[in-house]
Amino acid sequence: MNRHLLSTEDLSRDDALLVLDTAERMARVAEASVRKLPTLRGRTVVNLFFEDSTRTRTSFEVAAKRLSADVINFSARGSSVSKGESLKDTAQTLEAMGADAVVCRHSASGAPHRLATWVRGSVVNAGDGTHEHPTQALLDAFTMRRRLGRVDGLAVTIVGDVLHSRVARSNVWLLATLGASVTVVAPPTLLPLGVSSWPVEVSYDLDAVLPKSDVVMMLRVQRERMSAAFFPTEREYSRRYGLDVDRAATLPEHALVMHPGPMVRGMEISSQVADSVRSTVVEQVANGVSVRMAVLYLLLGGSGEVS
Amino acid sequence: MTAGAGGTGGPAGGPAAGGSGQSWVLRQVRPLGGDPVDVLLTDGVVAAWRPAGSTGPDSDGLPPGTTILDTAGLIMLPGLVDLHTHLREPGREDAETVESGTRAAALGGYTTVFAMANTNPVADTAGVVEQVWRLGLDAGHCDVRPVGAVTVGLAGERLAELGAMATSAAEVRVFSDDGHCVSDALLMRRALEYVKAFDGVIAQHAEEPRLTAGAQMNEGAMAARLGLPGWPAVAEEAIIARDALLAGHVGSRLHVCHVSTAGSVDLIRWAKAKGWQVTAEVTPHHLLLTDDLVSSFDPVYKVNPPLRTAADVAALRAGLADGTIDCVATDHAPHALEDKETEWAAARPGMLGLQTALSVVMETMVIPGHLDWAGVADRMALAPARIGGLPRPAAQRWSSIAVGAPATVTLLDPSPWRVVEADALASRSRNTPYAGRSLPGAIRATFLRGRPTVLDGKVV
| The predicted structure's pLDDT at residue B392 | 47
Q: Which residue has the higher pLDDT, B403 or A140?
A: A140
Over residues B348-367, mean pLDDT: 98
Residue B5 has pLDDT above 80, yes or no: no
Q: Which residue has the higher pLDDT, A228 or B397?
A: A228
Residue B396 has pLDDT above 90, yes or no: no
Domains of chain A: 13-132+288-299 (3.40.50.1370), 134-284 (3.40.50.1370)
Q: Considering only residues 82 to 111 of chain A, which have any Cβ-Cβ distance to chain B shorter than 8 Å?
A: 86-88, 106-111
pLDDT in tens, B243-268: 999 999 999 999 999 999 999 999 99
Q: Which residue has the higher pLDDT, B16 or A304?
A: A304
User: Which chain B residue shows the shortest CA-CA distance from A117?
Assistant: B298
The model's confidence at residue B400, banded by pLDDT at 50, 70 and 90, is low
Residue B10 has pLDDT above 90, yes or no: no
Task: Classify residue B322 by burial, with Cβ atoms within 10 Å: 0-12, 13-18, 19+.
Answer: exposed
Rounded to an integer, what distance in angstroms lies between the CA atom of residue A138 and that of residue A124? 13
Cβ contact (<8 Å) for B342 and A196?
no
Read out DSSP for B54-106?
---TT-TTPPTTPEEEE-TTPEEEEPEEEEEE---TTT-TTT--HHHHHHHHH
Rounded to an integer, what distance in angstroms lies between the CA atom of residue B172 and that of residue B167? 7
| The predicted structure's pLDDT at residue B369 | 98
User: Which chain A residue shows the shortest CA-CA distance from B222?
Assistant: A194
Contacts of residue B210, defined as CB under 8 A and 6 or more positions apart, other chains included, come to: none
* Core vs surface per residue B166-201: b (16+ CB within 10 A) or e: bebebbbbbbbbbbbbbbeeebbbbbbbbbeeeebb
Task: Specify which residues A257 forms β-bridges with.
Answer: A216, A279
CA-wise closest residue to B148 among B331, B428, B388, B353: B388
Suggest the residue from A104, A114, A118 to mutate for an interface test with chain B (most B CBs closer than 10 A): A114
| The predicted structure's pLDDT at residue B18 | 43
Rounded to an integer, what distance in angstroms lies between the CA atom of residue A51 and that of residue A58? 13
Which DSSP symbol is given to A62? H
CA-wise closest residue to B148 among B201, B208, B110: B201
- Measured in angstroms, the CA of A4 and the nearest CA of chain B are apart by 14
Over residues B35-39, mean pLDDT: 96
pLDDT in tens, B45-58: 999 999 999 999 88
| Residue-level pLDDT, tens digit, chain A, 307 residues | 789 999 999 999 999 999 999 999 999 988 888 888 999 999 999 999 998 888 999 999 999 999 999 999 987 764 445 455 688 888 888 888 889 999 999 999 999 999 999 999 999 999 999 999 999 999 999 999 999 999 999 999 999 999 999 999 999 999 999 999 999 999 999 999 999 999 999 999 999 999 999 999 999 998 777 778 899 999 999 999 999 999 999 999 999 999 998 999 999 999 999 999 999 999 999 999 999 999 999 999 865 555 4
ipTM: 0.92
In this structure, are residues A137 and A171 in contact, taking their beta carbons and an 8 Å threshold? yes
Cβ contact (<8 Å) for B220 and A106?
no
Active site residue B331: yes
Which residues in chain B are closer than 8 Å to A196, comparing Cβ atoms?
Answer: 221
Suggest the residue from B261, B295, B297 to mutate for an interface test with chain A (most A CBs closer than 10 A): B297
Over residues B27-48, mean pLDDT: 95
Which residues in chain B are closer than 8 Å to A88, comparing Cβ atoms?
Answer: 341-342
CA-wise closest residue to B368 among B314, B448, B432, B437: B314
Cβ contact (<8 Å) for A109 and B228?
yes
| The predicted structure's pLDDT at residue A297 | 96
Residue B444 has pLDDT above 70, yes or no: yes
Q: Which residues of A belong to the active site? A: 55-56, 83, 105, 133
* Partner-chain residue, chosen from A86, A108, A193, that has the shortest CB–CB distance to B345: A108
**What integer best gives the mean pLDDT of chain B?**
93
Task: Classify residue A130 by burial, with Cβ atoms within 10 Å: 0-12, 13-18, 19+.
Answer: buried
Contacts of residue B266, defined as CB under 8 A and 6 or more positions apart, other chains included, come to: B315
pLDDT in tens, B162-178: 999 999 999 999 999 99
Which residues in chain B are closer than 8 Å to A9, comparing Cβ atoms?
Answer: 225
Collapsing DSSP states into helix, strand and coil, what is residue A302? coil
Cβ contact (<8 Å) for B227 and A197?
no
pLDDT in tens, B116-126: 999 999 999 99
Cβ contact (<8 Å) for A194 and B216?
no
Domains of chain B: 3-76+404-459 (2.30.40.10), 77-395 (3.20.20.140)
In this structure, are residues B246 and B192 in contact, taking their beta carbons and an 8 Å threshold? yes
